[in-house]
Chain A
Amino acid sequence: MELNPKIPSGPIEQSWDRHRSEMKLVNPANKRKHTIIMVGSGLAGASAAASLAELGYQVLCFCYQDSPRRAHSIAAQGGINAAKNYRNDGDSVYRLFYDTVKGGDFRSREANVYRLAQLSVNIIDQCAAQGVPFAREYSGLLDNRSFGGAQVSRTFYARGQTGQQLLLGAYQALERQIHAGQVKMYPRTEMLDLVIIDHCARGIVARNLLTGKIESYVADAVVLATGGYANVFYLSTNAKNSNATAIWRAYKRGAAFANPCFTQIHPTCIPVSGHYQSKLTLMSESLRNDGRIWVPKQKDDKRPAIQILMPERDYYLERRYPSFGNLVPRDVASRAAKEVCDEGRGVGAHGLGVYLDFAEAIKASGVAVIREKYGNLFEMYERITAENPYEVPMRIYPAVHYTMGGLWVDYNLMSTITGLFVIGEANFSDHGANRLGASALMQGLADGYFILPYTLSDYLATAKLDKAPLDHPAFHESEGQVAGRVKKLLSIKGKRTADSIHQELGKLLWNNCGMVRTKRDLQHALEKIPEIREEFWRNVNVLGVDDEINQALEKAGRVADFLELAEVMCLDALERAESCGCHFREEFQTPDGEAQRDDEHFCHVSAWEYAGEQGKPVMHKELLEFEYVTPSQRSYK
């Protein structure tokens, strides 16, 4: 397998513009002759499907939900970054680029990140024109706020519902194209295989979740916009049905999986309350702008927060990182929370929590201002915990939130399979070993609105594709495999629910491949995962039939894929014998406990290639070069 990132040569400031003008175009009259499959309808998928349809391509768009408006991008709260420099506070494209490369702990591709920073400004223009109700100032101009990992105020937001509003903007653009007949939408349809003909991605096999029918779809290119795989941990902030199946099926057809161990643990989530917990809820990171994070100085201090006086509190982020304080990047904040809880200073019934306290902010700016900024978040918190954060400090704890890893793509967002493009969280591209807040929305929309429409056109203009018939043997073969797997899942009739096996896997991963990893733990997980997988295929109980809605069957198929993916995550974490960003290996830390990178040996992307059911995946390296931002020890002190 060859990993050619296809980074344009020349100065980084000009590379995207030049590349854009050099790419081949498809004649307008020929565009409607091309069909593109878009799997996923979140920010990346909906924006790409709408934009490609506007250009004149025929788009088939698939999502497992009942409507594209429900994709999990909708749950993003805080905001979207853009280097507009409206605040006159020194922001620039270069600074956003710099912050993102540094925030990613020097494990991302410079050229991609620079392009992302450049395009950030167009995204805001596009979304404002669509009618996204961004927060405004009294002047009528757009408002901004600051976010973790940055010292400028460059985050645009729509209350605590930025993801919802951006997604609805893209969804509306998509619905407009559905109405125009340019996009054919397939809701409640789940991709279960990728079909490759003559070494090019030419279609998918999908299951209709209403009728159970397994059907093939053919196209000139396939785009995966299916999001991340954080649900491999069972408990995460992802939607319950978010899954890795599409990217995992593509991996098994030859797409390299890059940096699978890079999973972001978000510092501000509501702590787990019991074994029945089905998912975790994130509280926007923007809360860290006004809330102060602390734990008692004393161990096992069970007094209510209000009785613990100032001198008895440890504002540990402000103490350890005086210049960034509570706004340190997510990985740093999460690990620090784990450390204080491991010391026995955690709060709440299980001791797995830290305080996020608004008492001083409320005193300084008044309840009204705080309510205006965070009202919906406070409400959500109260609903879940039955505690009023206007009166008592919130309790928060880190939770799995986002996966920086994903299918490997080149500068054109094409995977190692010709004609298979991957956008949004599903690819590994821009965030390196750690994503900065308010960057996921930016990346999804940059990929969908502004990058893919160019690079996919270039592919279609230059690829020599024969007509692929739906009765091609490759479709038959794949349909047979998919149907066989469905039958197999229904026939096991064991004793355990897919959920209980998923919970077991999640706990194992959280303990051994979570916030802190060690060689010993990872080896332990690698021994255990095949056992759990075996247990699944021997003892899972999937009731019901395959020709109508069967949510247990859907779930079991996704868990089966997580059980394979988990192993590659642990392999990747074991192989990367350094600490970087979210990937903290206990063996590799600085004397004061910060992540210790090893640029000499690990300044690369690890891209894993499938090697058959029995074989061990093969790792390929894409070496990373830093010409513009010199790798340094990240310091937020």
Chain B
Amino acid sequence: MHLTLNVWRQKNASVKGKLVRYEADDINPDMSFLEMLDVVNWQLIGKGEEPIAFEHDCREGICGSCGMMINGVAHGPRPATATCQLHMRHFKDGDTIYIEPWRSRAFPVLKDLVVDRSAFDRIIQAGGYISVSTGSAPEANSVLVTKQNSDLAMDAAACIGCGACVAACPNGSASLFTSAKISHLALLPQGQPEREGRVIKMVEAMDREGFGNCTMHRECEAVCPKAISVNFIARMNREYLRSLLKGEGLP
């Protein structure tokens, strides 16, 4: 296959970037999208040009490192597929592909396609955990969890923290990411003691980081590589309201 690529090149966080055009030859349909970029990079190095920087690690769709806008869509054209799991057979010979980094105020570009997603870690730091210290856990089977809740919690917990939801959202909202963690923990009996405080703290952290609000465009759900449902955002809103009604934090 032959492809024309327009790739966002940006030297570092403080300078302006621009789209640069590359011609990619000898692309095999069985290659993954990242393998295609590898080949392009090898060709660039051969010509003495600096390779395109992009994040990647497991290349199995689970670590959440990779992610880029492919023709304006986060992770590209395939539903429920991370960039590393997207294969070139879904493109046509002669196609032109635009490749850009995640675009969001809360995810500043560091270089080329690499962005800073540390805001996600800070949302988790605000309360995305159960405060159990090592050694204090009761016997695992002494706490029952209904299969239904356990399965639903797992649906939410499947989030890989890639940031596609933010990149796709016209408001740059992190609601899908944040709601997935809030829902995962709120659905489990182990998560109950901190349930009310958690949702307030995590939503506050999300706002503090400069993410926008959710206005239900559902773009996040459409691009999520783990197909996480926007129902979790509804659940987060219910959790938030419930917490306010219970007067969390008031004397």
Contacts and interface: CB of A to CB of B under 8 A. Distances in A.
Given A125-B139, A541-B45, A552-B45, A74 B63 contact: yes
Given A69-B161, A386-B87, A172 B147 contact: no
B218 interface: no
B31 A131 contact: no
A129 B137 contact: yes
B35 A544 contact: no
Given A210-B110, A499-B42, A126 B134 contact: yes
Interface in A273-321: 273-274, 276-279, 281-282
B34 interface: yes
Interface stretch (A173-181, A245-253, A480-488): A173-181
Interface size of A as a range: 35 or more
Contacts of B59: 239-240, 278-279, 281
Contacts of B50: 543-544, 552
B150 A67 contact: no
A14 interface: no
A392 interface: no
Contact of B191 (A50, A131, A278): A131
Interface string A354-397: 00000000000000000000000000100110100000000000
A130 B51 contact: no
Contacts of A537: none
A71 B63 CA distance: 7
A384 B139 contact: no
Nearest to A134: B150
Contacts of A134: 140, 150
A453 B140 contact: no
B58 to A, nearest CB: 5
Given A69-B161, A70-B63, A239-B63, A136 B58 contact: no
Contact of B45 (A159, A380, A497): A497
Contacts of B145: 133, 136, 140
A67 B161 contact: yes
Contacts of A133: 145, 150-151, 153-154, 157, 184, 188
A126 B132 CA distance: 8
A241 interface: yes
A122 B135 CA distance: 8
B51 A142 contact: no
Contact of B62 (A161, A240, A383, A386): A161
A72 interface: yes
B172 interface: no
B184 A131 contact: yes
Nearest to A173: B129
B130 A130 contact: yes
Contacts of B191: 131
A140 B32 CA distance: 40
B229 interface: no
Contact of A450 (B46, B110, B134): B134
A66 B134 contact: no
B174 interface: no
Interface size of B as a range: 35 or more
A619 interface: no
A69 B122 CA distance: 12
Contacts of B12: 548-549
Interface string B117-137: 110110011101111111111
Nearest to B65: A70
A518 to B, nearest CB: 32
Q: Which of B63, B117, B145, B184 has the most CB of A within 10 A?
A: B63
Interface in B54-85: 55-65, 78, 81, 85
Contacts of A86: 141
A70 B38 contact: no
Interface in A519-564: 541, 543-544, 548-549, 551-552
Given A51-B134, A131-B185, A138-B147, A386 B64 contact: no
Q: Which of B12, B126, B146, B154 has the most CB of A within 10 A?
A: B154
A383 B134 contact: no
A576 B81 CA distance: 45
Q: Which of A74, A380, A449 has the most CB of B within 10 A?
A: A74
A629 B50 CA distance: 57
B141 A142 contact: yes
Given A133-B184, A278-B34, A383 B85 contact: yes
21 contacts: A66-B116, A68-B121, A70-B63, A122-B135, A129-B132, A130-B190, A131-B191, A133-B157, A133-B184, A134-B140, A159-B154, A159-B158, A164-B160, A172-B128, A172-B129, A172-B130, A242-B57, A281-B60, A386-B30, A549-B53, A551-B53
Interface of B: 11-12, 28, 30-32, 34-35, 38-39, 42, 45-46, 48-51, 53, 55-65, 78, 81, 85, 87, 89, 110-111, 114, 116-118, 120-121, 124-126, 128-141, 143-147, 150-151, 153-154, 157-158, 160-161, 184-185, 188, 190-191
Closest 5 CB pairs of A and B: A140-B144, A172-B129, A129-B137, A128-B140, A179-B125
Given A129-B140, A165-B157, 15 more contacts: A65-B65, A69-B121, A69-B161, A74-B63, A75-B63, A125-B140, A133-B151, A133-B157, A136-B145, A159-B158, A172-B128, A276-B35, A281-B59, A499-B42, A548-B11
